[in-house]
Every structure is written in C-alpha cells, then in structure tokens.
Amino acid sequence: MKFRDGMWLPAEGKRLEYAEEVYSVTEKEDGQGLSLFCPTRKIHNRSDSLNLSTLTIDIEAPFDGALSVSTTHWQGALNPGPHFELFPAGKPEPGKINIQKSDKSRTISSGSISATVKTADHDFAIKFHATDGSKELTSLLNRSVGFAYSPATSSPMQLADMRNLEHYIFTQTTLSVGESVHGLGERFGAFNKVGQAITLWNADGGTSSDQAYKNVPLWISSRGYGIFIDTSDKVELEVGSERCSRVQTSVLGQRLKWYIIHGPSPKDILQKYSILTGKPGSVPSWSFGLWLSTSFTTNYDEATVNSFLEGMKGRDIPVEVFHFDCFWMKAFHWCDFVFDSEMFPDPAGQIARLKASGLVKKVCVWVNPYLGQASPVFAFAAAKGYLLRRKNGDIFQWDLWQTGMGIIDFTNPAAAAWYVGCLHSLFDKGIDSIKTDFGERIPSADVQWYDSSLDAGKMHNYYAFLYNKIVYEALQDRFGKNEAVLFARAATAGTQRFPLQWGGDCESTPEAMAESIRGGLSLGLCGYSFWSVDIGGFEGYPAPWIYKRWVAFGLLCSHSRLHGSNSFRVPWTVDDDDASEQGCSKILARWTALKARLMPYIFSQAQEAVRLGIPLSLRAMCLEFPDDPTSWYLDRQFMFGDSLLVAPIFQESGEVEFYLPKGRWTSFFSGETKKGPGWFKETHKFDTLPLYVRENSILVLGKSGETRTVYDYSRDVEVHLFHTTPGTKTTLVNSAGDDTEVLQVDDGGDSLIDQSVLQGNWIEAIDQLPRVVKFYSTD
C-alpha cells in the first residue's frame, strides 16, 4: 500500500503521522532491551507535548544475532491471535547483550548485531549494524516510522469512533545502493523483489501472477541481514516501489513487530530464522523416488491404475509412490473421505494388491479442508459444529470450488479430532501419505471461528499452518516422527516444519517452468528444505519437448512428481509411445535412474539441509556464493545441495546459457572442466543438461544401473573425487538418515584416508578426464 503521492504529498484519502524524534529512552527492567518514546513532532518546549500522538518503539534482544523491533501507537489496543508458534524447540538463553549510552546515542547489542539510536538534536535515526562495526545493515531514518488513517481525518474528534476508519502502522527500512531483496514466500515474479509491491495474503492464483499460495513474511537482503515480520495478518510491502531507497512494511492495526536477523551469510540468516519458526521436518528416503499421479479430472479405476504402473515398469521407470487425486471421492462430495464405491468397490483390497504386486511401495491420496453439502457427511459436520460459521450463526458456505462448500473449523478441538479420525481411517486402508491441497481461500469477513478470541484477518494465512500441522502430526502418530510426508500447497511461516510443499498450478509451457523455478528459489530462501513441482506442467497438454525438459528439471528437485489436470503424465501418452533413445519414456527412465544413483549424496545433503534450516533443492545460488554479486540475480539455475549446480533448459533446441561462480567445475556427464566465474553456452539433447560438480567435492553415487531409491548407501557405491584437497570431508548416512561415517580425503588430495566404512571390495580407477573416481563393488 502506498501512503504517499511521490515524495512530497500524502496519498489521496490518507493522513500520515511520523515519529519525528526519540524523546526519551528507557532501559527494560530485565536488561534485554530499550523502549523509545517518539512524539510525532519535534519537542522544543513544554507546550509541544500537548495534543499530539506518540509512537513507542521497543527494541529487544531475543537471542544472539537478532533484534526485535516493535512499533505501537495505542498500547491499549487488543492483540488477538492467532500468533505464529515462535521458538517451537524452546527459546534459547539470551546471548551477549550490551547496552551503551553516550551523549548523543544509545546502542543495544545482541551478539553480532547492534542498533544505535540517535538521542540528540531532535532527529530520528535508528541504525542497525554489525556489532564489530564492519558493516551498516539498514536504518530507520527521517519519516520512516509512522501510522496512517484512511480515510483522512480532519479533526482529532473523529477518532472517538474508529469503526469506519482504517489505522495502519508502517516502517521503512533503507535500501542501499545495489542491494537486492529476496524471499517473501513462493513468489513467481522477478527473483529480486526491489521495485515490486507485494501483498502477503494466501491466494489460489496459479503460478503466473503476483499472487502466491505460500506467503511467508521473511525477506533476505544481499547486505547480510533478514527481516521476519511477526504477524499472520495481511502485510503489504513496497520494496523500493514507493520510496526507491526504502522497503516499506505496513499492517492494519495499532502495532507492527519484526525481527532483524544478522547473518552475515544467508545460510546464517536461515539457521537463526529456524530458531524463531522451527526447523524443517525430516522426510524418509523413499519420498525422494518418483511419484506418479492419476491427474486431476482424468478417469481412472483399478485397471487404469495398474496399466499405468505396469507400463512404467515395462519401460524401466520405477515408481515409488502412486497418488490418487480428487476423484477417489464422488464428485460434489469433496472432501468427505469416502471412496467412490462405483470406481473403487474395495479400496483397502486394491491398495493391498497394488503394493503386493511390487509395482509401487507407497500410496498417497488427495484431501482438502472443505466439505461439499452434497455429501451426507456435511449435515453431520454442520450439526456437530465442525464447520466455520458466519456471524449470524449460519454455516459459512459458497459455491467456489464445491457446491455449498463449508470449511473445517480447526480452531474447534472436536473438529480437529474428527478430521484426524478420518485420516486414520485412510491409513487403515493402506494410505501412506497425504496431499493437502487448498487452504488458501479462507474468508476474513463475516465469519466467526469456534475460538472467538481469534482475529478473522489473521486466520486467513494462519489457517494453512493449522491445517498442515494437524495432518502432518496425524501421519507422525501413525508412521513415526521421520516417516511423515505431506504434499502441501498452502503455507505460511512455520509450515516448513511439515514437509513437503509443491509449487501449485502451472501451465505446460517453458515460461511456466521458469515461473516455478523462481517460486521454488524464493520459498527456499524462507527456510523450506523440500519442494516439488508438477512435472510437465499442470494445465494443458505439454508438447513432448517441454515434457522432457521438465522431466530433467523435475528429477533434480528434492522431490519429483508427475501430475496433470485433464491429461495423464505417463510418458507414452505424451509422444505416442516414441520408443527411441530421445523419446519421453527413455528420457524419464534415465533421469529417474540418475536420481536413484544420486541418493547417497541427496539423502546426506537432506540431513544437513534440515539441520541448518536451508533448502536442499532448489537452493538459490546466493546461498552458496553470497560474495559473488551475480549469484543474487540468478533465477534460471540452482544448487542441489552444496556440490551440484543445475541449469534447466527452456528451449526445444537444447541451447542454454548459465553462470559458473569462481572455481573449477566438472560436467557430471562429460567430465569436461570449466573455470569460473563466467557465463557459458551449451547445447544438449534431452538426456543431459548443465549439471556441474563443484570443486573440492566428494560425490557418493549408487552403482551404475541402480534404479532403487532406498538401498544401502555404503554398499556397492562409487566415490567420485572432484578436484579435492587434503582434508575434504563428506558424511555418509544410511537409508534411515543416521550418520554412519565421515569420508575424508588424504594428504595427497586424491584418495580417501579410510575406506572401511564402505562395504565391498576397493577398486581404484583414474579415468582420462580431470577427475579421480573410486569404485566400490561387492563383485
């Protein structure tokens, strides 16, 4: 929201007041912070203190490397929930806090970050900087903290009745020359958010608009800090789009709180952010295999499902998880958890037969948090009080998505328990995983939640957290802490704890693939370790070349699912069963096999991603190369873990341009070595793309021909050393994710110190390319 018309005038219909000076500073009794008393005009004499508003700014030190900044106008205003679940693993002990006072300023330090408040000369200035003085991060300067009335008031007496007035609090942090801003959820537009107006409000808008399914109030700056806005309410940001040199954050209400987190690296920022909102959950090794869906509106029964899986097996494409989308239930009945008896007369038996056949190991089904009135379950849920109501007592209903649809009120403990019971009935039938679709279209007007203390506006985004938490914890209760897997669409801060997320409804175009990549990169910079995409695109009928390019990209995401809307995504339906080496089936088989071979590396990197609160894939280049200015603008490539660089291809011709940061990079496919930094052009068929291994990497791979996802990651594997130096290490994990041993390069830099952890016979081979390869084999 813009509050000004250019630099000099307020926007039409807005009245603005700003903190003009820091009149007094009070140290908190617990010694953990400062409270700043800020009048909205400069106080030169005693009469200036009358008939004016003030703002209170509280700066506190919650833990090392972070400061919280709370701005309040009227402190008597209520602050209803829901509030984000902060510090879910427990609040850390306060770190090194230091408060210093001088004649002209007051400084509070929290470990590596400090805030210096100007207290002299009737000026307003708060500067955030590294405690060691090495870098200024950002500032709150003149006319950067304030509030606004809309419509504009002309007399203070009008404030006696606030019912028809909107009151906003805003802050404006400075943007430095060349600074870039990233994150704010799964955003599909430009990767660098400077110049954009962004509204954090979950919406079902597809991947080709400024709307987002996953709005996360965290952004990361290229200057080494991040800001987390601590509200689930609608947040509006003007990122250099109202004042070019500032990021404006505004909320409707009387208070605004955010945390500024010092890195200095983006990995450090995310690790500290995970202290606030939680670390990503771990996912089992089987979840990294290929998922195959029935697609959305297509027709399918047991014979169709079996034909899909038999066709995949006959083409050497292992499927780890089969997914039943919406129409496992009757039309108009979504989501009543009742299998359509005409299509699925024996669901438990069908699922058991499916698993017994060996065609698939796990089964997933689609659910949502809504309930159509055509289902008999609707009347039951309504009578029990499980559905959201309007203020007059009616069930909230509309015909958007499902006719007469109601919304499960998860603030009612009985409703949540009933929903969990429905999930367990699915688990009893053999379901192993749940796709939690929707949860974005949650009304914020004319609604009354069961928990009447909650604010309807804040519930809009927060609903995604409640919904996914309930389902994820039900999965954990049934299958174990690290065996729970969601496929979730809606998200907000904290839902990284309930993996995994996928990118929503994209079209079957190269442009949509690029949109999806930007979305995955942005979400990863909000602390989400695991992410997937509808391979081939959701909407439309992908041309064979698009499908194959998307397969290559999709199998190098952390998780890989074939899913469409009104057309199947099994490869032989895309290209009339082209059996050639460059046909869809052979290409999918090769990329699926490559991911299987990469599993020792992938699963080890997954544990590290969870530990640090960072993305596994898609990992933005700036996370690995923050000191390379180019890395902050790269939105068509990514890192898969810390060693593999991936550059998807968007052209049928196979032409691609990509950037390699400083160092030696080895093509995984050809063994050719390139030296960065620099831009490079290549042309690829469909079975390769620019997949480069970073220097000083130890890459553990499954044996040639391995197609399984879950196997012994220390037996029958290959160890590749890429331009390693003495002491280089990697951690080997087993298929349960437990650390086994550390592999370390010896003093010569071209062999391992100890191979005993690896099962089998040691064979050493040095190929003709500039890399050293070590093979393990039980033969």
Residue 769, pLDDT above cutoff 50: no
pLDDT, tens only, 460-474: 999 999 999 999 999
Give the Cα separation of 288 and 323 in Å (integer).
14
Task: State the DSSP code for 159.
Answer: G
pLDDT, tens only, 311-351: 999 999 999 999 999 999 999 999 999 999 999 999 999 99
Residue 407, pLDDT above cutoff 70: yes
Domain boundary among 593, 612, 631: 612
Provide the CATH number for the domain around residue 29: 2.60.40.1760
pLDDT, tens only, 261-297: 999 999 999 999 999 999 999 999 999 999 999 989 8
Whole-structure pTM value = 0.96
Kindly state whether residue 143 falls inside one of the protein's structural domains.
Answer: yes
> Which residue out of 20, 505, 682, 706 is catalytically annotated?
505
Residues 550 and 645 in one domain: no
628 is catalytic: no
Looking from the CA of 509 toward its CB, the CA atoms found within 13 Å total 9
Residues 542 and 680 in one domain: no
Residue recorded with tokens 């004016």: 52
Long-range contacts of 350-359 (CB under 8 A, 24+ apart): 350/302, 350/305, 351/429, 351/430, 351/431, 352/430, 354/305, 354/306, 354/309, 354/322, 355/430, 357/306, 357/309, 359/306, 359/309, 359/310, 359/312, 359/313, 359/319, 359/322
Q: What letters, b where the CB count within 10 A reaches 16 and e where it falls short, cover 723-743?
A: bbeeebebebbbbebeeeeeb
Residues 327 and 442 in one domain: yes
Total of domains in the chain: 4
Kindly state whether residue 594 falls inside one of the protein's structural domains.
Answer: yes
Using DSSP's 3-state secondary structure scheme, residue 341 falls into coil
Q: State the SS3 of 12-70.
A: CCCEEEECCCCCEEEECCCCCEEEEEEECCCCCCHHHHCCCCEEEEEEEEEECCEEEEE
pLDDT, tens only, 223-268: 999 999 999 999 999 999 999 999 999 999 999 999 999 999 999 9
Kindly state whether residue 85 falls inside one of the protein's structural domains.
Answer: no
Give the Cα separation of 596 and 600 in Å (integer).
9
Q: Are 716 and 778 in contact (CB under 8 A)?
A: yes
Q: Smallest Cα–Cα separation from 281: which of 423, 480, 575? A: 480
Give the Cα separation of 356 and 365 in Å (integer).
18
Q: Are 542 and 511 in contact (CB under 8 A)?
A: no
The one-letter code for the residue type at 679 is: W
- Cβ-proximal residues to 168 (8 Å cutoff; 6+ apart), any chain: 1, 3, 147, 148, 150, 250, 251, 252, 253
Give the Cα separation of 702 and 690 in Å (integer).
21
Q: With the C-alpha atoms ordered 468, 474, 480, 486, is the resulting torsion angle positive or negative?
A: negative
Token pair belonging to 616 = 């596994």
- Cβ-proximal residues to 158 (8 Å cutoff; 6+ apart), any chain: 165
pLDDT, position 773 = 56
- Cβ-proximal residues to 494 (8 Å cutoff; 6+ apart), any chain: 84, 85, 88, 277, 278, 465
Q: What are phi and psi of 147, to 5 degrees?
A: -145, 165
Residues 663 and 750 in one domain: no
Q: Please name every residue paired with 650 in a beta bridge, in sequence order, or none if there are none.
A: none
- Cβ-proximal residues to 671 (8 Å cutoff; 6+ apart), any chain: 767, 769, 770, 771
- Cβ-proximal residues to 406 (8 Å cutoff; 6+ apart), any chain: 370, 371, 373, 378, 381, 382, 387, 388, 395, 396, 397
| Gyration radius (Cα) of the chain, Å | 28
Provide mean pLDDT across the span 163-172.
96
Q: Are 112 and 65 in contact (CB under 8 A)?
A: yes
pLDDT, tens only, 567-588: 999 999 999 999 999 999 999 9
437 is catalytic: yes
Residues 342 and 446 in one domain: yes
Token pair belonging to 583 = 């046909």
pLDDT, position 764 = 66
Q: Are 219 and 184 in contact (CB under 8 A)?
A: yes
- 92-96, 102-106, 175-179: least confidently modelled range: 92-96
Task: State the DSSP code for 324.
Answer: E
Token pair belonging to 569 = 């995504």
Q: Are 226 and 179 in contact (CB under 8 A)?
A: no
Q: What DSSP string runs through 470-522?
A: HHHHHHHHHH-TT---EEE--B-TTGGGS--EE----BSSHHHHHHHHHHHHH
Residues 684 and 563 in one domain: no
Give the E-state strand segments of 276-374 in sequence order.
290-293, 321-324, 362-367, 370-371
Give the Cα separation of 12 and 35 in Å (integer).
33
The one-letter code for the residue type at 115 is: A
- Sheet of strand 644-646, all strands in order from the earlier edge strand to the far edge: 638-640, 644-646, 691-694, 655-667, 673-683
Provide the CATH number for the domain around residue 551: 3.20.20.80
Q: Are 249 and 168 in contact (CB under 8 A)?
A: no
Give the Cα separation of 347 and 353 in Å (integer).
10
pLDDT, tens only, 493-518: 999 999 999 999 999 999 999 999 99
- Cβ-proximal residues to 417 (8 Å cutoff; 6+ apart), any chain: none
Give the Cα separation of 249 and 199 in Å (integer).
10
Q: Which domain holds residue 430?
A: 285-367+412-612
pLDDT, position 768 = 44
Domain boundary among 647, 673, 694: 694
Residues 552 and 689 in one domain: no
Residues 679 and 712 in one domain: no
> Which residue out of 440, 455, 695, 706 is catalytically annotated?
440
Say what the alpha-carbon torsion angle 469, 472, 474, 477 is, to the nearest 10 degrees.
-120
3-state helix vs strand vs coil in the chain, percent to 5: 20, 30, 45
pLDDT, position 766 = 57
Is residue 690 reached through a cis peptide bond, with omega within 30 degrees of 0 on the bond before it? no
Give the Cα separation of 314 and 308 in Å (integer).
10
Kindly state whether residue 753 falls inside one of the protein's structural domains.
Answer: yes
The mean predicted confidence, pLDDT, of the chain is 95
Kindly state whether residue 78 falls inside one of the protein's structural domains.
Answer: no
Using DSSP's 3-state secondary structure scheme, residue 329 falls into strand
Distances (CA, A) of 198 to 235, 240, 252: 8, 11, 15
Residues 31 and 144 in one domain: yes
pLDDT, position 504 = 95
- Cβ-proximal residues to 533 (8 Å cutoff; 6+ apart), any chain: 502, 503, 506, 516, 520, 553, 554, 557, 561
Q: What are phi and psi of 394, to 5 degrees?
A: -65, 150
pLDDT, position 430 = 98
Domain boundary among 694, 709, 735: 694
Give the Cα separation of 375 and 332 in Å (integer).
7
Kindly state whether residue 3 falls inside one of the protein's structural domains.
Answer: no
Kindly state whether residue 247 falls inside one of the protein's structural domains.
Answer: no
Token pair belonging to 179 = 């600074």
Is residue 335 reached through a cis peptide bond, with omega within 30 degrees of 0 on the bond before it? yes
Residues 29 and 64 in one domain: yes
Give the Cα separation of 585 and 548 in Å (integer).
9
Q: With the C-alpha atoms ordered 66, 71, 77, 82, is the resulting torsion angle positive or negative?
A: negative
Phi-psi category of 59—alpha, beta or left, where left has phi over 0 and alpha has psi -120 to 50? beta
Task: State the DSSP code for 421.
Answer: H
Residues 423 and 451 in one domain: yes
Provide mean pLDDT across the span 459-488.
98
Give the Cα separation of 627 and 629 in Å (integer).
6
Task: State the DSSP code for 575.
Answer: T
Residues 355 and 490 in one domain: yes
> Which residue out of 20, 21, 336, 437 is catalytically annotated?
437
Provide the CATH number for the domain around residue 673: 2.60.40.1180
pLDDT, position 749 = 83
Kindly state whether residue 319 falls inside one of the protein's structural domains.
Answer: yes
